[in-house]
Structure 1
Amino acid sequence: MRSILIPLALLISSAAAHAATCASLAALSLPDTTITHAEAVPPGPLKPPYGDPIASLPAFCRVTGILRPTPDSEIRFEVWLPEKEAPKGKPAWNHRLLDVGNGGFAGTIAYGQMASNLRKGYATAGTDTGHQAEAEDASWAYHHPEKIKDFGYRALHLTTQRAKTILAAYYGEPQKKAYFDACSDGGREALMEAQRFPEDYDGILAGAPANNWTGLLSAGVDVSHTVIAHPEGYISSFKLRAINTAVLNACDAQDGLKDGLLNDPRTCHFDPATLLCKSGDELTCLTAPQVASLSKIYAGGHDSTGNPIFPGLMPGGEADWRDWITGGGPSESRYMLNFFRYMVYDDPAWSPLAAAVDASVRTAHEKMAEPLNATNPDLAPFIAHGGKLLLYHGWNDPAISPLNTIAYYQQVVAKVGPAQAEAAVKLYMVPGMGHCAGGPGPSGFGQIGLPSPGAGAIDQLQDWVETGKAPTSIIAAKYTADRKIQMTRPLCPYPQLAQYTGKGSTEDSTNFTCAAPPQ
């Protein structure tokens, strides 16, 4: 490692004295790196290699490259650099780096989020983590252990290092601070960075982290034995609305406000058996096998001795379960299938219905925990570097249980101590938000490039890092299709909850305060 770090340090030092043109960045010589393209892009639209065209970008320097740290690696990355001095009224570089992450099994670069960062004056970078594929596809990992390591941790770390070097060469100075903002698998990447590479970033915004990767996907084996193995237990998506209505009727008013949102679903002890059909099968009720399936989805996965593998979903968001849980008919999770077939067992014929739960959990952890899990609660090195971590998770998340993020936060507090944790780590739980965004509640608060009604999560994280002012409440908004604010609500640092004052509109955040949960 020393032979790599010394040339990079010298390069940055040289860059500080001689700022480069955009085109000249193509000639940079970096370890295990090929710069494939470097050009000044004029203001206007951009058509990325995949996805929709991106409109209204400011002028910037676009650098693309490929990293090959092993003979089996091919990690594509891009670095976008705002103009050093922009025309009047246009954003110039704000002297910061804000990088983006991935979702699912990655395979693409988050161009839309990079564009949002660029418009705000950030230099920004992203990577496909070493393969080109849809987010649910892991076939690229079949007999490719080095590609799994690239996906797990290596690609992002190396992209971060190269982005900093390219940035310093272009501007003639390093960034003032470096930040990372991602959700889901990107949340796992965020925690991997904080744990394994604590000096890569000064501030990290991590949403709905899939950090216990092996536990999350192994739990699906146990759940599938109840939900998928018996077709009569399949819950049609046509019944989700009735389930959600029953949950809200039972629990919505518990927080003192009947608004379609559960402030803390852990206090909702909804019994699926209350929906048991009395005579025949109707869309407004559940059969006995369907009651068992719903109970299992709430309970999560367990091994043969009853020990939890990964927590289940929270009540209150059932109306949005179709894409993640029920689909258009009985079928196993594609994430679970691809994980075990192409990463754990290298067996395309593997089926969860023929698999033993305990053996699947054990093998997944033995083979994949090291490259993929980001569960280490010891953030002391990250905190000692001055790092700040802001976690968030939607209570209505249908993909990753919010209880997992709460558990990780509590483990960090226990490991580093309450004082250190309070000074460097915050958690925000978001009522009514689905996976990373969306859902019936306000879910736009400046995360993953989304708008916010005021100082959003990334703004407050930046302020925390650079001035020491810790975030308090963060205002989230629910937007209409034409991006008008429909309602706002404060997000409170865990374990506080937003409480209605009893006066004024319940769609206005100013009529709420953050308070400790009732005992």
Structure 2
Amino acid sequence: MRRILFCSLALLVSSAIGHAATCASLASLTMPDTTITGAETMAAGSLKPPYGPTLSDLPAFCRVTGVLHPTSDSHILFEVWLPEKQAAKGQQGWNRRLLDVGNGGFAGTIYYEGMAGNLRKGYATAGTDTGHQADAEDASWAYRHPEKIKDFGYRALHLTTERAKVIVAAFYETAPMKVYFDACSDGGREALVEAQRYPEDYDGILAGAPANDWTHLISSGLDVGHSLVADPAAYISSLKLPAITAAVLAACDAQDGLKDGILNDPRECHFDPGTLLCKSGDELTCLTAPQVGALRKLYAGGNDSEGRLISPGLMPGDESSWKAWAIGNAPSESNYVQNFFRYMVYDDPTWSGLTANVDTSLRAANEKMAEPLNATDPDLSRFIAHGGKLILYHGWNDPAISPLNTIAYYDSVVAKLGPAQAESSVKLYMVPGMAHCAGGPGPSAFGQLGIPTAKGPGMLSLLEDWVETGKAPTELVATKYSADKKVQMTRPLCPYPQIAKYAGHGDPDDSTSFSCVMPAKANNK
């Protein structure tokens, strides 16, 4: 069936080529389960999308909007933006590539800012809301809507990609030279869904901090939440997080040869939360005994009743960033945990994580939601056979998704395919001091999500070179910018398992003072 569908798409693309199209004429394109709702030439300047900030400095482009309805319960919004065929003087023309954007959380919006960034660089670009309109932490749309869950899980992005290829071919009278995907978080999950389920959709994929093992990630959060929320005395106020970070750095910062507020590999930091135990009364600079237990759990991750790991925990070194993702403003259930189990797993709006059994919840999540949501298959042989290249990246201090999850997936790919085949098409970069997708105490701008680095090519450019010339990426430079966008620091990022080692002399804020080396001992922990 998949082969038949691919052949049908190929026929649609080939039929679109050779029939000169104006932007307005794209409204009459006919594609399966698709309604084009608009095709309009947009003048250069600003655009106010339905939500999000006003987008400025846009070149003139053709904006195509549409709805996908593969089932009677599907209503998937998508957009395709096309740089003008003949660019005005001083503007970027089409670079003959299609670069699509992904989503975050439970999706629900089109990532217009990402599309705008791609457009400014000359890419045709596409995005989708994955079949519903809602805030990223809201999954109430999934309540008793199994087809919408499939749309969110895998169908919407795949169909958007197929339709975008047809629209590009119709407008430019030629298919895109190469097709790329750049996304993080749930977008990283979407990236791996594409590589595993639809290996011919993309030629190159940039996948950051993938939430690819969705059922285990959220179920682990349920167990960790029990330690943090079920006993109010165990809750750690965000006011105490800076003291935890300071204690961790005091214990571990110098281990990598440079005291700079960044842990090169937090797995080497064996910080004992018990050292923060309050000696005489509860203070912001110490932890009570229940809080020490909660901190240990945050580091350890979630377990089932037999002690088996469900999903790994957070890394030490930037606990100050945990408020938004791990701690919150007060003891309460995680919105992601609550929404996932209420509206996707149990179809029960009264479900409460405080009284839920972890083993039972994990089993139910896997039985019902693993198939439509998870992207854990290590067999990327079909993607590689297509010529696909995949770059994974993850911040070592991600407060939302454990970086150990991405390492585990990468290791599983290497084990499945063998080191030689995996190395030929898959790379992993671990980013010291980076939080979730960007930000954090370390340099975190390296060409992902359109965020430029100050020195050398970014990660997306390296991916393109790998796909188009066969030149495999090695090290690249990440940048930390100040609030006023000045360069504060640059550091090399190294292909895993290499690490950036300080030379022992030179400016520690300059990447030239570091080199990529293999770690002194194996770190596959």
Task: Please give the TM-score of this superposition, normalised by the length of structure 2.
Answer: 0.98
CA distance in 1, matches of 2:209, 2:457: 21
- Contact map agreement 2:273 2:295 (CA 8 A) in 1: yes
- Contact map agreement 2:396 2:403 (CA 8 A) in 1: yes
Could you say which residue in structure 2 is the equivalent of 1:506? 508
Could you say which residue in structure 1 is the equivalent of 2:461? 459
CA distance in 2, matches of 1:8, 1:289: 58
SS in 1 for 2:485: coil
CA distance in 1, matches of 2:309, 2:182: 30
CA distance in 1, matches of 2:229, 2:35: 46
CA distance in 2, matches of 1:271, 1:11: 60
Structure 2 counterparts to residues 16-415 of structure 1, below 5 A: 16-415=17-416
Tell me how far 1:19 sits from its aligned partner.
2.4
- Contact map agreement 1:497 1:515 (CA 8 A) in 2: yes
CA distance in 2, matches of 1:455, 1:339: 39
Could you say which residue in structure 1 is the equivalent of 2:451? 450
Tell me how far 1:237 sits from its aligned partner.
0.5
CA distance in 2, matches of 1:209, 1:19: 40
- Contact map agreement 1:432 1:441 (CA 8 A) in 2: yes
Could you tell me which runs of 5 or more consecutive residues in structure 2 were left unpaired when the two chains were aligned: none
CA distance in 1, matches of 2:94, 2:183: 21
Tell me how far 1:449 sits from its aligned partner.
1.6
SS in 2 for 1:292: helix
Amino acid at match of 1:390: I
Tell me how far 1:5 sits from its aligned partner.
4.8
SS in 2 for 1:104: coil
CA distance in 1, matches of 2:95, 2:80: 15
CA distance in 1, matches of 2:13, 2:287: 64
SS in 1 for 2:405: helix
CA distance in 2, matches of 1:4, 1:423: 29
Correspondence for 1:468 among 470, 477, 501: 470
- Contact map agreement 1:186 1:206 (CA 8 A) in 2: yes
CA distance in 2, matches of 1:283, 1:391: 38
Amino acid at match of 1:503: H
SS in 2 for 1:89: coil
SS in 2 for 1:285: coil
Tell me how far 1:3 sits from its aligned partner.
6.7
Tell me how far 1:358 sits from its aligned partner.
0.5
- Contact map agreement 1:209 1:405 (CA 8 A) in 2: yes
CA distance in 2, matches of 1:397, 1:158: 31
Amino acid at match of 2:507: S
CA distance in 1, matches of 2:428, 2:34: 37
Tell me how far 1:451 sits from its aligned partner.
1.6
Tell me how far 1:367 sits from its aligned partner.
0.3
Q: CA RMSD in A?
A: 1.0
Out of 178-187 and 82-91, give the one that drifted further.
82-91
- Contact map agreement 1:412 1:421 (CA 8 A) in 2: yes
CA distance in 2, matches of 1:9, 1:384: 18
Runs of at least 4 residues off by over 4 Å: 1-7
SS in 2 for 1:448: helix
SS in 2 for 1:48: coil
SS in 1 for 2:64: strand
- Percent of aligned positions with the same letter in both sequences? 73
Tell me how far 1:4 sits from its aligned partner.
5.2
Tell me how far 1:501 sits from its aligned partner.
1.1
CA distance in 1, matches of 2:377, 2:322: 30
Out of 87-96 and 365-374, give the one that drifted further.
87-96
Cα shift readout 1:285-326 (whole Å, capped 9, x = no counterpart)? 000000000000000000000000000000011011111111
Could you tell me which runs of 5 or more consecutive residues in structure 1 were left unpaired when the two chains were aligned: none
Amino acid at match of 1:514: C
Tell me how far 1:485 sits from its aligned partner.
1.4
Tell me how far 1:374 sits from its aligned partner.
0.1
SS in 2 for 1:192: helix
CA distance in 2, matches of 1:511, 1:475: 12
Amino acid at match of 1:354: T
Q: Compared with structure 1, are the counterparts of its residues 6 and 200 closer, same or farther at alpha carbon in structure 2 (3 Å cutoff)? A: closer
- Contact map agreement 1:203 1:465 (CA 8 A) in 2: yes
Out of 257-266 and 320-329, give the one that drifted further.
320-329
Matched, 1:417 2:418: yes
SS in 1 for 2:488: strand
- Contact map agreement 2:26 2:167 (CA 8 A) in 1: yes
SS in 1 for 2:450: coil
Tell me how far 1:84 sits from its aligned partner.
1.3
- Contact map agreement 1:4 1:31 (CA 8 A) in 2: no
- Contact map agreement 2:333 2:354 (CA 8 A) in 1: no
Tell me how far 1:7 sits from its aligned partner.
4.9
Task: Please give the TM-score of this superposition, normalised by the length of structure 1.
Answer: 0.99
Tell me how far 1:332 sits from its aligned partner.
1.0
